[in-house]
Structure 1
Amino acid sequence: MRTLREFDDRLLSPYTGWTRNHWAALADHLLLSARRYASDTHARISFPGPAGGYGADVDGLEGFARTFLAAGFRVAGESGRDPHGLMDWYAQGLAAGTDPHSPERWVRLDEHGQPKVEAASLALVLHLTRPWLWDRLDPRVQEQVVDYLTPAIGSDYPPINWIWFQIVVEQFLLSVGGPARHGDSRWDAQLGARGDVPEGARGDVQRDAREGARGEGRAGLRADMRRDIDAGLAFTDGFARENGWYADGAERAYDHYSGWALQFYPVIWTEMAAGDPAADSRRAVYLERLERYLRDAVHLVGADGSPLIQGRSLTYRFAAATPFWTGAYAGLATPAPGLLRRAASGIVRHFAEHGAPDDDGVLTLGWHHPWRPIAQTYSGPGSPYWAAKGMFGLALPADHPVWTAVEEPLPAETGDFQFAVPAPGWLVSGTRADGVVRVLNHGTDHSHPGTNLTDSPLYARLGYSTATSPALAGEHAAEPLDQSAAILDEHGLPSHRTGFDTLLVDRLPTGTLLGASRWQAHWVTPDPTTLDHGSGRSGKVRLGPHLTVLSAVRGPWEVRLIRLTAAGDVTGPLRIGGWPLPAQTPSTDDLSSGGASNGALHSRVIPGPSLDLSGVTAAEDSSPLAPWTLIPWCATSTPAQPEQWYEAAVFLGAQAPEESPTVSWDGSSAHLTWPDGTTDTVDTYTLG
């Protein structure tokens, strides 16, 4: 690939230099590189590496469907101009993949759950490129495609973002007249046995919403599709939360899926169903949510373009750019087009300049470079190509305002900011000096209040940022240390916090943020038969004291206050972990002083009274950012005392702090004095 720097335009894009030419060149590079790994008929693209958890057949389908997204966006934005013959190339794969007699035929939707995901990508691209692909397919291939997609009708989908996959597929089927355009006999057979997702992934709530007798024959299947779509839309309405945010299902699951799936598909569906009164009436609601969500989302991109390193499926990398392009595609006036492109281009440039794709033009399982632990157990070598969703902006023509507007700076580049996001329970703080965005987490754990699961490092830590990664491998992935407040049992094992209650998410008049949560410390011996898909795991539980944690956040500082309430059978020392700092080497000048530096950033935990131990733990190969992770911590040397408030100041920033916040007490009131001279008083009595 030619260096992307040759396309730089610092007048149009003063912050990234990136233009539509960069995006187009990157997409072409990914697509042409992928052809080296395609089967003879193009139906399967099998990238190098061990097979994923669902097997090589699913991997090959993922490789086709996910690169197909980039191809579709590329051609749609060029109004059919296709110098690389992308549509013809993928048409061959469609013909073979949907042919039930082909040796390269795809795993069907009624044979495995994962094809239900990939089917949505097929339907989406066939919609976007209809004049240049679908309308030119041989009628026999069109029938095969319809036949391949039809098991979506009436099938159970997991009650999360997957519901949108069914909606998109069935809306496409309705738009092309299938299955009603075919003979009754072929489709009547579908009314007998319907496909299921794997055991444990059934969408019972959605299935119940479709109770009642289904129709017969062609008209019946069309009625079934409309019933599925209506039920799915009603069901996904339940995902909506405050300020435009979506939870990914009933759990407190807030992550990048809120943007790259739950904001994306509603806009796509309303376009696919344009003219339908239901779609037209919902569009205004969806766009209002998207606009409000994007006001928060632009603050969650670091000045270096890194998205927040939180939540599962991070190996999809620049899929995190999807919601910004969705806002442009929907014609939103705010955030401004130049800011939307700045966010999206910053994200993709961040990865392109850090080794993704690799020298062979492949998106490997990893973050900047190959690093398998960042993926889920089911991920295969084709999975990372969902990153193609982040190239959705290419579906917009070169004269669209999002491409012609001058880039505007990200919030992290214009000044310090701090605000609370009630839905996920996040306190967000960005600082211009280092361009880092930090999130203190008192509302997200991918679970429900009262559960006693292990902590997922991707969801249940107390803090996440654009410059640090939680420990995702090694002992500290399963035994929380970074960004934690834990009781150590008799074996020195830390307790978990999943299942906490959110007590407070607020912003004081001074701008200081407050968040608080409470949970019963617990230790879990995981059930070895439980699969880990990125959330907590169940098992045999031991219970300890209740912990109440309050975070006061200002700039690069957090004052963390912790109190224990006696309960349960286990007690022990209290340990507080700070920001996990990526480092090239485990040696620093201050490994024993409660702080660490990697030359660019500093991480500190400054203990208050009674926290008489401190240090820095160096964890090898525990995150995708660097060979080592340095985690400062402090602790009590003896069992923590109930009803006593413990305090620590936690720091992440570019400059080593000369002053730290101080805390003084007047009864239940904590008086906080910050390095900038601001004072805040927090009445802890209100926390109970």
Structure 2
Amino acid sequence: MPPLRDHGSGARASATAAISPITGFTRTDWERTADRLLAGAQRHAGPGRSLLNLPGPASGSGRHSDGLEGYARTFLLAAYRSAHAGRKLAEDVLAPYAEGLETGTDPEAPGHWPLPSALPQARVEAAAVAIGLHESRHWLWDRLPDRVRQRTVDWLGGISGVQVPANNWLWFRAVVAAFLRSVGAAYASEDIERAVESTESWYAGGGWYTDGARGPGQFRNFDHYNGWAMHLFPLWYCRISGAEAEARLLPRYRDRLRTFLHDAVHLVGGDGAPLFQGRSLVYRFGTAAPFFVGALFDATELRPGLTRRAGSGILRYFLDHGALSPDGTLSLGWHGRFERLRQIYSGPASPYWACQAFSGLLLPPQHPVWTEPEEQLPVERADFVRPIGPPGWVSCGTAADGVVRIVNHGTDHTPPDRPARDDPAYARVAYSTHTGPDLGPPLDLADDPEAKPRDGDAREVQGQDNQVALVRDGQPSHRSPLRRIRAAGRVAVSAHVPHWPVAGEHERERWPAGPAVLTASVVNGPWEVRLVRVAAPGHTVRIGGHALAADRPPWSRAADDHLLVVRPDGLTSGLFVLGPPGSPAALRVRRAVAMNAFGTFSSTPVYEAAGDLHATAVFLGGTTDATPPPLPRARLTQAGATVTWSDGSADTLTWPEWPEWPA
């Protein structure tokens, strides 16, 4: 962690050190950050304050939609901030949003809002407006003129019964329906029924939801949406509905979030960084939301001090790494501005979905989350290995450097019945809290009538980090869709059919494909032993380690059997050849500029070798003088493998039968 901030001298500083010895953040810091975010966003409000036109490239929905997004997402923050503020402060915080509500719902006003019935993105923002109105009900809704309340009901009602994707968007309709019902307005009960029913089909167990599914039991869409959408909106539906909510729902959704948080807290790094995986990463500290929502709904077994440690650590990580622009606005990126992290629906105000993290301000100042001393994260207490079954992950944390890594053998965000273009946020073998994939420019899919929105997240130039690919004419194969096989103990296994998408070829079955590949990860501490078996000989296999990025180029060190890349702060990414004996391998560093969210200059250790069996050790961790801990050993055969660690313990796996395809 960076040095603690100066909270003054004397008793105040001592009190802060006693309650927040790790992050230095108290509720006061959250309130000040909320005020700064609101002030920065309001500087970009248009006439009537209904549209916040923040700087940056437009989303696929256009500038008008982006302006509404700026209002709706910061209105959430204003509602949370006002909840336990004094009368004067609450009125001041909400005043611009009251004005914006009057303007935005007036179809004759220059700053009127796009209609949810006509513009899909407005359906997302309608849910944010509904939650904001509920949470600020006594300060704002109850004081609005009748004409504004009616116009607001009319605007929100435009979402009723409209078509939305069969994923978390179903809850946007349900949340709006709950609010309309709560104010005695007409609502679509079938919108609620569909969301509740579909959510049951998406529940994969263990506290995890898949965000939509192509068919029954096809659980492969896992990412941070599990926390900031799939758990959050069902609970908020219950909160808005009160006694009108079906009796069985609130206990069910509480239990699931309670279970999920045990995994979620193992996915936060010692520096507060959340796992870099999945879409909408520009939402940044939105990843803190489920921790506070757990406390708000009595849906957590985490101690209050651990809840605040996780949430404050995430918020401070991004503030310390430049997430706020000099004018107080959130940029499109991870640390600072990095627009390659955008997706087609990302506009200048999209990052303000991060304001969900401030739901913790709905807890009163005397709540134990705000008054009990911080407690260490799991990765700060001890090394751990934690299988996370539903997404097919094994999480591994090391206390010495605070790094949390996952190996991914179950999540690809890809329909299983057709090849797809690998999304680097889903298709890699490994992710971590301290590294991210290199991102080339998005593919131009304008001439492909079969291209799906998911395909728009594929890249013209694929980074080589954390790949397991076959190489043909210098081009790496793609991995998704993959078949999960195992994720238990320290071992995870998956299979895939490598393929090479062809530009302009619309028939996916005509894309060249290679023999099936089995990939296994055996993890322990900072090591992942990555084992590969190819169904036929005669192919070159590429294996990539973690990409390290910084504002200065990482340096590297090479030997015959390994390659190390070292960041200026000592974080080290290594790739070691473990076998089979006598199989020559080529090791090289793949360098890139302006392709990584963690820094301008990135470097990746890469292995290439021919053959049908490959054993490598992938290292990620902090080192002194670029000296990693003792190397594991691997014995690899056509039947299976044994990995032996420096402490004498061993993991053995038997290769599974080749699966039938498609998965």
TM-score (norm 2): 0.90
Which residue in the other structure is 1:678 paired with?
Answer: 649
The structure 2 residue matched to 1:359, chosen from 326, 330, 334, is 326
1:666 CA drift (Å) = 6.7
Checking the alignment, whether the CA contact within 8 Å between 1:503 and 1:687 is kept in structure 2 is: no
Is 1:276 aligned to 2:244, yes or no?
A: yes
SS in 2 for 1:497: coil
1:667 to partner: Cα distance: 6.6
**2-side partners of 1:591 and 1:146: how far apart?**
65
- When residues 538 and 86 of structure 1 are mapped into structure 2, their CA distance, relative to the original with a 3 A threshold, is farther
2-structure distance, mates of 1:559, 1:446: 25
Partner of 2:452: none
- CA displacement, residues 399-418 of structure 1 (integer Å, 9 cap, x when unaligned): 11211111111001000000
Kept after mapping to 2: 8 A contact 1:116/1:152: yes
2:106 alignment partner in structure 1: 99
Evaluate the alpha carbon distance shift between residue 66 and residue 307 of structure 1 in structure 2; reply closer, same or farther with a 3 A threshold. Answer: same
**Which residue, 531, 546, 564 being the options, matches 1:561?**
531
Task: Name the structure 1 match of 2:602.
Answer: 629
The offset of 1:566, in angstroms, is 3.1
Change (3 A) 1:245 1:477: farther
Query: Which position in structure 2 is the counterpart of 1:414?
Result: 381
Could you tell me which residue of structure 2 aligns to residue 375 of structure 1? 342
Q: Secondary structure at the match of 1:267?
A: helix
Pair 1:619 & 2:592 matched: yes
**Relative to structure 1, is the Cα distance of residues 14 and 595 closer, same or farther in structure 2, using a 3 angstrom cutoff?**
same
Could you tell me which residue of structure 2 aligns to residue 207 of structure 1?
none
Aligned mates of 1:162, 1:81 — CA distance in 2: 36
Work out whether residues 428 and 466 of structure 2, in 8 Å CA contact, stay in contact via their aligned partners in 1.
Answer: yes
Where does residue 243 of structure 1 map in the other structure?
206
Q: Which residue of 2 aligns with 1:488?
A: 471
Counterpart-to-counterpart distance in 1, 2:270 and 2:493: 28
User: Structure 2: how far apart are the matches of 1:667 and 1:375?
Assistant: 43
The residue identity in structure 1 corresponding to 2:588 is: G
Q: What aligned pairs does 1:63-212 form with structure 2 within 5 A after superposition? A: 63-78=70-85, 82=89, 85-179=92-186
Within 5 Å, give how 1:186-585 maps onto structure 2.
222=187, 225-250=188-213, 252-276=220-244, 278=246, 280-332=247-299, 334-473=301-440, 478-489=461-472, 491-507=473-489, 513-526=490-503, 541-566=511-536, 572-585=539-552
Q: Quick one: structure 1 residues 557 and 98, their matched pair in 2 at CA, closer, same or farther if it must change by over 3 Å?
A: same
So what's the TM-score if we normalise by structure 1? 0.87
Letter in 1 for 2:651: D
Residues 528, 113 of structure 1: alpha-carbon distance in 2 compared, 3 angstrom cutoff:
farther
CA–CA separation in structure 1 for the residues paired with 2:603 and 2:105: 50
Aligned match for 2:564, one of 585, 588, 595: 595
- Provide closer, same or farther for how the CA distance between residues 619 and 42 of structure 1 changes in structure 2, counting only shifts above 3 A: same
One-letter amino acid of the structure 1 residue matched with residue 487 of structure 2: V
Cα distance between partner residues in 2 of 1:171 and 1:650:
49
4+ residue segments displaced more than 3 Å = 474-478, 526-529, 537-540, 583-587, 685-688
| CA drift at 1:461 | 0.3
Alpha-carbon spacing, 1:559–1:354, altered in 2? closer, same or farther (3 Å): same
**Aligned-pair CA distance for 1:446:** 0.2
Letter paired with 1:405: E
User: Are the counterparts in 1 of residues 288 and 314 from structure 2 also a CA contact under 8 Å?
Assistant: yes
Match of 2:449 in 1: none
Using the TM superposition, give the Cα deviation of residue 397 of structure 1 relative to its aligned residue in structure 2, in angstroms: 1.4
Is the CA contact (8 Å cut-off) linking 2:492 and 2:520 kept in structure 1? yes
Q: CA RMSD in A?
A: 2.1
Corresponding residue SS for 1:88: helix
Deviation at 1:625, TM superposition (A): 0.6
1:324-380 deviation line (CA, Å, top 9, x unaligned): 011010123511111111100000000111112121101011111111001112211
Once residues 320 and 223 of structure 2 are traced to their aligned partners in structure 1, the CA distance between those partners, rounded to angstroms, is 24
Closer, same or farther in 2 for the Cα pair 1:474/1:577, shift >3 Å?
A: farther
Separation in structure 2 between the aligned mates of residue 666 and residue 586 of structure 1, nearest angstrom: 38
| 1:645 alignment counterpart | 613
Alpha-carbon contact 1:485-1:577 (below 8 Å) kept = yes
TM superposition shift of 1:61: 0.5
Displacement, 1:676? 2.7
Q: 1:563–1:388: structure 2 CA closer, same or farther, 3 Å change rule?
A: same
CA distance in 2, matches of 1:381, 1:269: 27
Mark the CA change 1:5 to 1:52 in structure 2 (over 3 Å): closer, same or farther.
Answer: farther
Report how far residue 585 of structure 1 moved. 3.4
